[in-house]
Structure formats: C-alpha cells, structure tokens
Chains A and B, each alone.
Chain A
Amino acid sequence: MTQLPFDKSAKLSCRGPFPVARRPRLARRFFHGALISLLATASAIAVTYPVSVARAQTAPVEPSALAVALEAHSENGASLLLPLVSESVNVRIDDGHASASYRHVFQNESAARLEGNYRLQVGEGATATGFAYYDGEEKIVGEIFERDAAQQVYDALTGLRRDPGLLEQAGEGGFSFHVFPIEPGEKKRVEVTTSRFLPRRGQEIEYRLRLGRPDANVVLTVRDGRGVQGLDSPSHDLRTERGADGAWIATVLKAKTTTADELVVRYETQEAPLVLHATIHHDPGQSAFFTATLAAQPQPPGRVRSGNDVTLVLDRSGSMEGPSIESARAAAKAIVQRLLPTDRVNVIAFDDGVDALYAAPQLVTDAVRRESIEYIGRIEAGGGTDIAKALAKALSSQVHDDHPDVVLFMTDGQSAGPPAIKVATDDKGDARVFTVGIGTGVDKALLSRIASIRRGRFTFVADPRAVAVEFPKVLSQLEDPVLTEMTLRAEGGTIERLYPETLGDLFPADELRVFGRTSAAGPFKIVLEARDHGTPRTFVAQVDASAPSDEPWVARSWARARVDDLLEQVSAKGENEELKGEAVDLGLAFGLVTPYTSFLAVPESALTEEAKNAVGNMRERRKRILATRTDAAALSRLNMPPGDPILRVHAPADSKRVTAVFPFGLTQDLAYDAMSESWMTRFLVPKDVADGTYEVRTVIELADGRVNVAMVRYTIDSRAPEVDVDTRVSGDGVDVRVLCDEPALEVRVASDGNARSSLSLSGDAERRTFKGHIALAPGSHRIRVVVADAARNESERTIDVDVTPRGPEGLR
C-alpha cells in the first residue's frame, strides 16, 4: 500500500512520470562486466579529468548550470564533464516560433569505458521533437513512444549491456539522455531538435542560445509574415543575407566580448502595435490548425502609472537555499525600491508556514519601504512548500478599495495542486496573481493555472541568477492592462479547441498567443473582441483555410498547447487515465516529448526478441493513434463483454445534434461534455449479443446544417483465451512460459494463492507469449496461472511443481 498525502515528497512519487527517476545502474554494470580494473580506471580518470574540464570550460561549473553537458561516470562513482569538441545549431524562426536542430560531439578522453548523462537546457516551453545519437558511425534515430513502455524496453536492454538512447523531459524546457557505453577515446555525437515560441516585447522578438563552445557553428533562418527588420545581435557579430525565398539568414561569426557565452539575436516585426496576426496549417482532409497573436507595446518611459496594492510573496523553502533565495531577495528589494508613493506594499514569506510583514498592504512611505527591504533581507531558506497556504494569506489580506490588487508570487518548488487551485478559485476578490517560477524543478503547470485563474501571467526563470533579466517583465505587470475581457470568435467559419481556454488580460510588452482548430474550408475571419480601458475594441485577422499552407510548427504548437492545458488539469485535479491518455496520444501523434512520452533510439541489431516485440507493439500503437486521430469517434473500450462503455465523438461544441446508432437496435443522442471537449454517451451491450465485431454509426449535425458521419468499431468477446503453460525449475524457483491463442492483457502467476510469491506480466494488443520467473522455496508447490484477454475474459491453469534445493556447486 502506498498512501499519498498531498505533501511535497509524496506528490513527486504519485505523479509518476514527472520526476526523472534514475536507477543506480552503474555499480551493477561494472560489477558484472567491467572490462578494465577498478584501479586502472580510477587512474585514467584522475589523469584526464583536469584536461577535459580545461577544454570544455574555463572554470569548474556545476553541470546543472550548463546549457549542454555530458556528465560521465566511472566505476568508483566519480563524475566528470566530457569535453564538448564540436557544437552546431541550426535555427529556423517562423513568425516568432523557433525550430532548432542541435548537433553536439563529446569526447571520452579517458582510458575507461564510461556511462554518461547528456543534458540540454533549451528554455521555457521548449519541446523536443527529434532525437538521434551515433554508435560509432551508425546513426540511431529515436522514435517517440509512451514513456513507461519506452522505459521498460530501455531497462530490459541496459541489463544486457546494450544501451539504447532514451531522451526524456528533465524539468521545464530541459531534456536528458542516458548513454552507455562511451568507449575510451570515442567521440559521442548527439542530435536533438526542439520547438518553442520566442518571447516578444512589443515588436521585438528575441532568441537566446546558451553556447557550449565559443566557436559554435550557429546559423539562423528568419521568416516572419509580419516583416523582419533590424536583425542583429548585441552579443555576437553576425553575417546576414537574404535567401532565395526571401528569408533572412544570419550566420554567427564571433562573440563581441570574450565573456559572452550566450548568443542573443533580435529582430523587430514591421506591423503596427495591437494587430491580430494569424498563421494557418492545413493538411488535406483535416480541419486546419491556426495560431493567432497580438502584442502590446511597452509603456513609454516616464509614464506615471496609478497606484497599486503590491503583495510580494517569497518562497523561503529549503530548496530556495543558495542562488534562488539570493536572486528572489534581490528582485523583491528592487521591486520595493521601484514602487511609487501612491502604491501600497506587503511582503509575505512562506515555507510550510506563512509570515507576513503587515496584516494588509501599507502605503509606501519611506519607513514602510525601509521596513520592507529589511524584512526581505532577513528571509532565510528552510522548510517545506505550501503554496495554498501562502496564496490564501496573500489573497485574504487585500484591502478592497479602488487600488488594483497585485500579488507577485515567487517560488521554485512544487506543492499540492488541488488545494492551491481551490484557494485561487474560491477567493472572490479581484486581486491579480502573477507567478514567477524559478529553476527547472518548478511546477509550471500549477503556477500557470493559478495565474490564469487570477487573471495574471506566469513567468519562468530557468536560471536563478537570471531573475534580473526577467525583471522588466515582472515589473510591467504592475501596469494597467492594455486589453481586458478578451474573447475570440470566427466569422465565416467555426473555431474550436482553443488553447489556452481563458485568454486573460493583455499587459504592456505582453503578447497574446492562442492556438486553435477550424473546420472552415475557405476564407474566414478570426475576430478578437476586448475592452481597452472600458472601451470595446475589435481586432480582425483574415485567413484562408483553402490556400496552400504548410506550417507544421503551427499544428505541433497547437498540440503542445493542449498538452500544457492537460498538464495544468493534472496539476489541479491529480492525474487520471483520461487526461494522461489524451496527453500520450497527442505526444505520440505529433512527436512531442512530454512528461508522458519519450524518444527511444535503439539499433535493431541490439534488440532482444522480447524488446523487438515490445518496440513493435509501441510502433503499432502509435500507428493506431495516428489512424484514429482522423476519426471522429472513439469508444472507451474496444474489446468488451456486456458492460458500459462510453462512446466519445469529437465534434464542434455548437453542433446541433450528435446521434449514435448502435447495431443492437439502440439509438441514442449524445450530450456535449465540456471537460473532455467531446460529445458523450454510455451504453450497455445486452448480454445476448453474439461475439463479433460491430460498428456504431455516429451522425453529427453541424451548426451550419452540414452532416458528418463517423463509424467506430468494437468487438464483443466473451470467450476466454486458450492457454498453454510450460514450467521449468530454474535457480531459486520456476521459469514460466505462457502461450495464448489471442493477445492477452495480463498474465498473473501465484504459488498456492500466496500473493507474496507471485508474478504479473502486462500484455498489450498483440502480445501472446509471456515468460517470467517466480521465486519459490525448496519443496512442492501448486502454482496457479491466470490469463486475461483484452475483454477481461480469464483462463486458469494450475500446475504442481517440485523445487529441489541446489547443491553446493550449484548442481541439482
């Protein structure tokens, strides 16, 4: 039994795929098969380590602080950073979206065979969309799979000393990849492609890239439908030219200063402020994807804003110790320094307890300003993290008057999601909450949700030392919003599945960015309605869904936005199969690394028979998902005995009617379910329906009168699988092999009904052969084998076995 109270540590364990769990594989690996002696390896590393560091960077650096690193381990547990001997990055920027392709080459300069962990930190909102590594000269290309299944294959193969590559998400905007072996002298090449949107302030769009080498080969190609001007870099010399298709091509030459380890490239769009811009991607036969953006200019310098009630909430939990708390204190002090005499201020520090400087925000007199800064300076890290309690305190201590209430909430941690969301939802005041997440371990989904509920914004700061860089963005949130009450609609077509679902308000230097689908087949208008300081305003973008359009990044970004939305729901409500299932499907269909999906790269020659089957099954699953995403309807269970499946149909919310015609004489209207954004009904299959495959016909009457028809197939199966069981006494128990005449969902084996001596093997849509080992004490046993098929029909076999004790030489 595992009880999961909602505290910080338990949350990490219950959320399963979110933390990157690692097995202590190294010791086992070296104990079982090291090629060289412990002493020789230790000596070699002792010699090569300083050389490696000297080549890779000028001073010892924590690996986690690097944008890219390959940290290798030796048998004695020592770790070293392998030198990065080559780095090239190709970046394509389309309408502010960056697709980057990284190629990194590391070298093992030691005389030891090593195991390494590659890490790449890209930035907020980044998604890995491709992965490959080289095993010698052979390029092994990664495939996207469900994370748990990929991990199982990975584990099975690493036990055989044949490591595949498994690229996983490692915190916000970061990715990691375990690699083994790295032979002595070997150059290990890794390729990763990523996707993310770039931050925009007014008309300025900025791309930042932390470099692993000063001589990195970096080329950027920039296209923007809004026009490109002033493409330049404050950090590096660039050579710019126009390509044949009109795109700007910028080649990075050299750093302008010797200390510049970050490339910064900026350009400005040529559109006027507050213009709605849309980009569309359309695959034949599919509803189109679109993204719409609208940016507000920064406030002009010298403009005096009206007074706010500003409550600074600082996380002082133990994890903030070090640069995080120092940066947060510095940022908070700077904010207090910049407050106006017409503002009010309060400071709240929290861990698992909450302390406030004042009972309510106080007018910023000199004394209050001084007290606040002194109070911030005394905040020390220690304790747990209870976001809900801190948020409740901040919201309940507001003064309800004409002053706009603003809460700036800075944290680096994770906390129970549901209670924090409840606090954010239940408070009836009008305080806006702006959340600032510091470091890659932050729960972005939770902080984004809180900010969204409280009409604020979430700001992510990957490197605690970079809080100052993000400081202007945080300060701009004290300004009055430029647009409020924003809603999006379409004219001449319908738009659906819009993310984020709540548009919030637009602040100075802020950008609205939404993603949606449309079933429009021709020209239509995307219309944004909003209020500009109380005055209604309308913004229109004209798009043509019939025009040739190939911007796959739009489709991928839509999928990513939906995954983010699902992760926010998981954070708010806890994980469930429905949310997880959709996130997995989207990750697999669009090739995205998410907390639930990973890239697995494995040479076919390294696959065992079992791993080959598992990979085949995962490929088949992805194929099925890709196929089903073109369908309109789905059943919660495809193989079933009489029961109560749910029928879901993805159709526009404003459809007039969705009706399902079942093959056994039942016709049922579906109802729209806002939570799953689908039309749903449930039904029972009568118990006298014969086994076989059936189809449900669903008729969708759209708002404009058009009618679509979709079919979903399901199988009634009441027959238990035929099963053959072989057993062979082996080692400390019995090897069990089960052959089924149909794919099995699960095979379980127990001795004498004793759950403590049992074995459970998971199946899937294809697996018919199962092998396992059950440990048994010497003596006679009766083992029971139970096999369940996809419809949960069960077969059972009981077998008597006699386990003979081993002799002293391991002979029976």
Chain B
Amino acid sequence: MIARWLAYLALLVGLTVVRTAQADAGPGGRFVRTLTVYGGHLWVGTFNDGLFVADAWSTPEELENAGQVPAPFRMVNDALEVNGRLYVAANEGLFVTRDGVAFERVREVGARGVTGIAFDGRSLFATTTSALWRVHVSLGAPSSAVWWKPAGSRSLQGVVAEGGRVWLASEDRGAILFDGKRFSAFDRLAGLPTSWAVAVAGDGQGGVFEATLRDGAFHVDAAGHWKPLQGLPSPWTLTIARGEREVCVGTQEGAACYDSPSAAPATIWDAPSSRIEGLPDPRVHVLLAAAGSLLVGTEAGAAFVTRNREFTVSAQ
C-alpha cells in the first residue's frame, strides 16, 4: 500500500495527491460515483455497490472505516442534501432519508433510473432518462411536476438548477436550458461539437459548463455562445464541478481545474490552472471540496488532494 502511495506521489502533477483509500471492505477500491457531506458525515455512493458512510474522513484509514449503509438501491448516480434530508438518485429510483438509516422512495418521481438531482433553494429537480421532475420539498415552492422528453431528449444524464434556470445534460440533445417555460437544446444541431453531454455545472451567470462524452468540455453562455475548455488531460470527460474560484473537470485520464470566470477573464479557459493525476484510477467521476481537501472519486476508490489555498466546490 505504501509503495502504491509513493507511486501516486511520483506521478503527481500540479497538485499533491497525498492520501488515497484502497481496500475491499469500505468504499476504497470501489467505483465511486458520488461524494456528499450530510449530517457531518461523508456519504460515498458507488456505481454498483450501494452507499457508504464515513463518520470522519480526514485520513485514508478513517475513510476506509466507512460502513456500507443498508439501502434499497445499489446503483447510485447522485446524492444531495436538501432541507436537512439526504436525497439519493439511484437506478432503482429517487430515495430520501431523514436520519441516514431509513430510506424511502420519493413517490413524486414515478420513474426509475434517476440520473441526477439539483436544488434551486426551493424545489428539488431530478432527471430520469426521459423526464425532468420537479419535487415539492419546501413550503411555498411550486407544486410537483414532470416534463417528459425535454427538447425531445430521451436520455437525460444530469441537472443543475440556479438563478431560476435549470440546465440538463443529455446524451442526445447536449445541454438543455429550461427557463421555466421553454426547453432549448444546445447540441450538434445548434452548432456545438456534440449532442452527448455527461454532466453540467452552472456558471453562476445564467450559463453552464458542460462535460461531453468524447469532445471535451465547454462553457455555454445564456445566449448559446460556446467556448471550449482547452488543455484537458483527455477529451473523454466524465464530470464537471464549479467552485467559487475554480471549475474542475474529471476525465478518463485525470482531472484539471480552471480559474473561475468570476475571478478572471474567459481566456483562462485556454489552459488549466492545475491538473490532478496519479489517482487510484485515472477515471474521475466526482469532485467534492470538503474539510480543506478536494475529494476525488474514481472507478477504484476516492483520493484526497490537498491544496495550499482554500477551495470549495459546489457540485450542485
């Protein structure tokens, strides 16, 4: 194990991967799909092995002590804390827990295969492959609703909601903007390089960052103008997350971060400000800032990336 850590250290570029988690018992070594802090614990959702919870996660050992949570789902796609509850988007449906122990199906989302969830401060939004669902979770919020095949898409993969806009990632219509009335697709037909988006992250200004299957990542503004994020480790991207100062992209060959547009002009997208390599597995599916570290979820466990400055990621 020590040799392996050293190997990771040796591969380090830009940022320092100092701690990794690898084991069979806990989430280490497993395909990590989501990382979420809820109730002071770290919740690790996996691709095919359900949900794990760690009481503490400041060391690899603590993370390795994470226990598997008995839950009525195995294939986790997303997780999010909303109003003191943990929502889990799973292939088996959308679930919620109030105590981290008992999970119940959110009946307002009548389909299985929930691919993403987001919260705009009032309503919870969830995507299943062919529908966008709005779930009433706050007093005074709009009632629950569903929109089938938004912009004609039958394969929605993720959602982000901020500033009164909802952006969807889809495999067949690229990034889709929902302004509360209409769906607009930003895809190949609209002049973008691809219609296959795997993840979206809001830019805080009405636009969106979009990660695509094999055509890199883009920034798309509210008017539909787009610009690529250049210098990615691989054009095969898997996830994208925006923090207050940075935008990070997970790819099949490591991750890279760019300074946030609010902190610098758009030219910063010509090259990443930092790269994350030497991970347990190069395929990065989730990024989360917590407890002073950047947590990176890969197909073979999670890794901590320390940074010499504050970094917070708002993945949703």
**What residues of chain A have their CB less than 8 Å away from a CB belonging to chain B?**
1-6, 14, 418, 421-422, 572-578, 641-644, 646, 668, 671, 673, 675, 681-684, 687, 746, 748, 750, 753, 755, 758, 760, 784, 786, 788, 792, 794, 796
Contact = CB atoms under 8 A, between A and B. Distances in A.
Given A418-B108, A573-B110, A573-B111, A786 B188 contact: yes
Contacts of A644: 47
B172 A792 contact: yes
A646 B144 CA distance: 29
B309 interface: no
Given A2-B148, A4-B147, A792-B172, A578 B107 contact: no
A678 B217 CA distance: 37
Given A5-B143, A576-B128, A675-B92, A14 B148 contact: yes
B48 A682 contact: yes
Contacts of B213: 641-643
Interface stretch (B21-29, B176-184, B272-280, B286-294): B176-184
Interface in B182-198: 182-185, 187-191, 194-196
B92 A681 contact: no
B145 A3 contact: yes
Contacts of A673: 92
Contacts of B299: 684
A755 B184 contact: yes
A1 B75 contact: no
6 contacts: A4-B145, A4-B147, A421-B107, A681-B48, A784-B188, A786-B195
A518 to B, nearest CB: 28
A788 B174 CA distance: 13
A673 B131 CA distance: 22
A753 B190 contact: yes
A642 B183 CA distance: 28
B74 interface: yes
A4 B214 CA distance: 35
Contacts, number: 105
A647 to B, nearest CB: 11
Nearest to A426: B107
B233 interface: no
Given A4-B146, A4-B147, A671 B74 contact: yes
A753 B191 contact: yes
Contacts of A784: 188-189, 191
A643 B112 CA distance: 18
Contacts of B194: 794
B112 A576 contact: yes
A3 B147 contact: yes
B36 interface: no
A668 B48 CA distance: 10
B251 to A, nearest CB: 11
Contacts of B178: 1
A699 B150 CA distance: 39
Interface residues of B, number: 49
A526 B111 CA distance: 35
Chain A at the B interface: mostly helix, strand, loop or mixed? Answer: mixed
B110 A755 contact: no
Given A682-B75, A687-B236, A788-B195, A4 B148 contact: yes
A796 B215 CA distance: 15
Contacts of B155: 792
A679 to B, nearest CB: 12
Nearest to B155: A792
Contact of B47 (A2, A682, A753): A682
B252 interface: yes
B152 interface: yes
B196 A786 contact: no
A183 B252 CA distance: 67
Given A675-B112, A682-B47, A1 B181 contact: yes
A529 B40 CA distance: 49
A671 B184 CA distance: 39
Contacts of B185: 755
B216 interface: no
A794 B188 contact: yes
A1 B110 contact: no
B45 interface: no
A748 B146 CA distance: 25
B182 A418 contact: no
Contacts of A5: 143, 145
A792 B187 CA distance: 13
A170 to B, nearest CB: 24
A698 to B, nearest CB: 16
Nearest to B187: A786
Contacts of A573: 107, 110-111
Contact of B189 (A14, A642, A748): A748
A673 B113 CA distance: 13
B130 A422 contact: no
A668 B190 CA distance: 40
A492 to B, nearest CB: 33
A719 B154 CA distance: 21
Nearest to A1: B182
B202 to A, nearest CB: 20
A576 B92 contact: no
Interface string B139-176: 00001111110101011000000000000000110000
